[in-house]
Structure 1
Amino acid sequence: MKKVIKCGKLFTATDERVQENMAVVIEDNKIVEVAPAAAVDCAGCEVIDLSDKFVMPGLIDTHLHTAFDGRPGCMETQITWTAGDFAFASMKNAEKDLMAGFTTVRDEGSYGFVDVALRNAINRGDVVGPRMMVSGRPLGTTGGHSDSHYNPDIHGETTMGLISDGPDGARHAARYTLKYGADQIKLMATGGVMSIGDEPGAPDFTFEEMKAALDVANSRGHISSAHAHGAVGIKNAIRAGITSIEHGMMMDDECIDMMAEHGTYLVPTIVAAYKIVENGDSLPAEAVEKATRCLVNHGKNLEKCRAKGVKIAFGTDAGTYYNYHGTQTCEFALMQKYGNFGVAESLLSATKVASELMRMNDRVGSIEAGKLADITAFDVSPFDDIHTMENCTFVMKDGVVYKG
């Protein structure tokens, strides 16, 4: 039986328009027609009445970690949890993401390939969650972001990162990660905020190391992402052929010009640093200090990126400290506050632009005939109040209603 969704206000994400009194016709898991409600024959169809809602495509979060839940001690779970523990936690977090309106996500690094297993379980219909693109174990360097700082006499797998040094090591790590089911390669190009003893502005991987890893990804048709705060690491990653820069909080003007020239995407993840600074009293002082430095110029740089035409995709780093799954839609309001994003611009970043980054725009990212029926709805238009994005009231993924 066909479904007809009657939409009071409809943002298709094919452009910036909001249309009124429209209908979306769905057959099986695909959209077959988008037309004025008065022109659609509903006879014999299941009618879903969202005529008092703001309707738009399913949201896409291009940067989160299903393995971590945002608690202040979430990173310490790597010391005591097994892969089974992470698997159960990941299932719960993924369901929260779906209920918040995220029908597609990109997991930016998990523990022990748990994200690969979760993606497969969701695809089989064994568990409920968003459509997932996964990174497997992210690639890092000795002493860099994603490495551990345990006693050197402690051996075995002590971190979620796949630690490699030198071009040959990076090449092997990329092949290994893809071998076990990753959809993309994730590189830790610079130090980070939540890691111990490294510097977010300093490069970790060299250009030659990143080039070796990315040659593997690019030759096999996979996209890639680079955790990168500092300018040198960002530039090395762009030159090496990266698809997207994650965070980018300490970029300079040359970075912005290079991203615009190369078509490199930026995923700002404002909320990740914001939540650490906001809750600084209960977090490690080192992480708070680094997050403060990262955030101070982020808004100005985002405005420069927008002015230069850099492609900016929505991502939140959900799972980091106080950045809980299912609540990361506060990023929309932060995009207004820190980067002066317009409402339509921010909505497009989480739909059309995000789908293009993930090379899934033939299936998701907009409401139009031929696309998968991923649809969300909100009680209030975000053009009236951007905070309404924090309260999704209807979720459909693949033509199945999960909320509402």
Structure 2
Amino acid sequence: MVRTVVRNGRVFDGTGSAPAEADVTFEDGRIVEVGSGLDGDVAIDAAGTSVIPGMFDCHVHVTVSGTGVFSTAARPFSYQFYEAARNLSGTLDCGITTVRDACGADLGMVRAIENGLIDGPWMQISITALSQTGGHCDSWLPSGLHLTPLLPHPGRPDGVVDGPDAVRQRAREIIRAGADVLKICTTGGVMSHTDSPEHSQFQDDEIAVVVAEAEAVGLPVMAHAHGAKGIKAAVRAGVRSIEHGIFLDEEAIDLMVERGTWLVPTLAAPRAIVSAGASGAGVSASTLEYAEEIVEIHRDAMTRAVDAGVKIAMGTDSGVFPHGANLSELALMVEGGLSPAGALVAATSSAAALLGVDAELGTLTPGKRADLVLVDGDALEFAELKQRVRAVFKDGVKVR
């Protein structure tokens, strides 16, 4: 077997320890040693770079590309899958080697990456989001039309469902389709047509059914949740992560700390809506106005969560905006109260812990899979970080 040594780099190992000069060796897809003066059969000179673990984005939509439902509706059904392949490749360009798709990707994409048919990060998938009638993921419009980029197909059951019995069956169908995590919408959304982000959705018994069905097969639940009431309902039911959390109140934050619930803040998402509206993209005036109002509310919510000790993992909501800009979230998390090192931990070891893969990924530790990224200069300086990605490795194979 060939042992590769990455020499002379400044290693940020993802544990939270300060960066330090070190070498990293890996063999047969696994990290062997991290230290000084290491040898290998193949040497990579990393002088002038930071060596960091492969990063995570815990909230993406790879079948959506920020172009709006009208553009998507005008394309052939299969176009979305080719577009997803491009989006996955662009995400890997960022040094993100693992993603959790928050609605849209199906099992075929996971298998295509694993079997080397397409290029992209490792994936966990939720397949579709469970939403009540009139809820965040109900695509009904006042005209009576349903316009959505996520048309149901055999590998992606429709997520709109009501009542505990129907919710139970649909959850089981999504699990059968290969989900790694179940997603439920317990509030409305910023871009929803028929609700408000502060509206609570699903009753407690419906949410409890989703959690119970997930737990029965050892899966977690992620909850799209903006409003405080819907956040608290999800946390009390036992969801693993709150996605967005814009209107967190102190009771919700205390509950999350008590229950160990994660926050995936996706701070880039409302900012992307504001930018799209300013550029003349098809964002309604009401959506644009609302997005502008919540940017500061969102940042304040994260700051209070950080100060209270809520666990944070990086997610971006890429797909709401074009893929490949994922790393902008790092600087926004610093604005939200994390240190630069804390933000990078949120994108590495903390994200791996949320996804339940921390025994294999997330830190540069002997025995773990050799997913690592070489970045020119200081990886804790986030300006133009994507442009400074020099090399990306997955399981010890250089893919960028």
Query: TM-score, normalized by length of structure 1?
Result: 0.92
Closer, same or farther in 2 for the Cα pair 1:115/1:10, shift >3 Å? Answer: same
Counterpart of 1:380 in structure 2 is: 377
Alignment of 1:158-237 (within 5 A): 159=151, 161-237=158-234
**What is the identity, as a one-letter code, of the residue corresponding to 2:246?**
M
1:335 to 326, 333, 336: 333
Distance (whole Å) between structure 1 residues aligned to residue 328 and residue 93 of structure 2: 15
Work out whether 1:84 is the aligned partner of 2:41.
Answer: no
Computed over aligned residues only, the root mean square deviation of the Cα atoms, in angstroms, reads 1.8
Counterpart of 2:28 in structure 1 is: 28
1:55 to 51, 57, 60: 51
How far off its partner does 1:99 sit? 1.1
2:100 to 93, 106, 111: 106
1:125 to 116, 123, 127: 116
Closer, same or farther in 2 for the Cα pair 1:219/1:86, shift >3 Å? Answer: same
1:354 to 324, 347, 351: 351
Counterpart of 2:39 in structure 1 is: 41
Distance (whole Å) between structure 2 residues aligned to residue 201 and residue 307 of structure 1: 23
Counterpart of 1:94 in structure 2 is: 88
Work out whether 1:309 is the aligned partner of 2:312.
Answer: no
Q: Where does structure 2 lack aligned partners over 5 or more consecutive residues?
A: 153-157
Closer, same or farther in 2 for the Cα pair 1:238/1:84, shift >3 Å? Answer: same
Distance (whole Å) between structure 2 residues aligned to residue 268 and residue 102 of structure 1: 17
- The aligned length equals 389
2:322 to 316, 321, 324: 324
How far off its partner does 1:14 sit? 2.0
Q: Which runs of 4+ in 1 moved over 3 A?
A: 80-83, 150-161
CA contact (8 A) 2:139 2:148 kept: no
Distance (whole Å) between structure 2 residues aligned to residue 229 and residue 7 of structure 1: 45
Closer, same or farther in 2 for the Cα pair 1:156/1:370, shift >3 Å? Answer: closer
Distance (whole Å) between structure 1 residues aligned to residue 119 and residue 149 of structure 2: 29
Closer, same or farther in 2 for the Cα pair 1:295/1:156, shift >3 Å? Answer: closer
CA contact (8 A) 2:181 2:214 kept: yes
How far off its partner does 1:345 sit? 0.2
Identity rate of aligned residues, in percent?
A: 36
Alignment of 1:140-155 (within 5 A): 140-150=131-141, 151-152=143-144
**What is the identity, as a one-letter code, of the residue corresponding to 2:118?**
V
Distance (whole Å) between structure 1 residues aligned to residue 70 and residue 133 of structure 2: 19
Closer, same or farther in 2 for the Cα pair 1:134/1:7, shift >3 Å? Answer: farther
**What is the identity, as a one-letter code, of the residue corresponding to 1:331?**
E
Distance (whole Å) between structure 2 residues aligned to residue 248 and residue 31 of structure 1: 36
How far off its partner does 1:232 sit? 0.7
How far off its partner does 1:148 sit? 1.1
What per-residue deviation string (whole Å, max 9, x for no partner) do you get for residues 60-114 of structure 1? 000000001123x2x334534454211111111001101111100000000xxx4
Distance (whole Å) between structure 2 residues aligned to residue 294 and residue 159 of structure 1: 29
CA contact (8 A) 1:90 1:115 kept: no
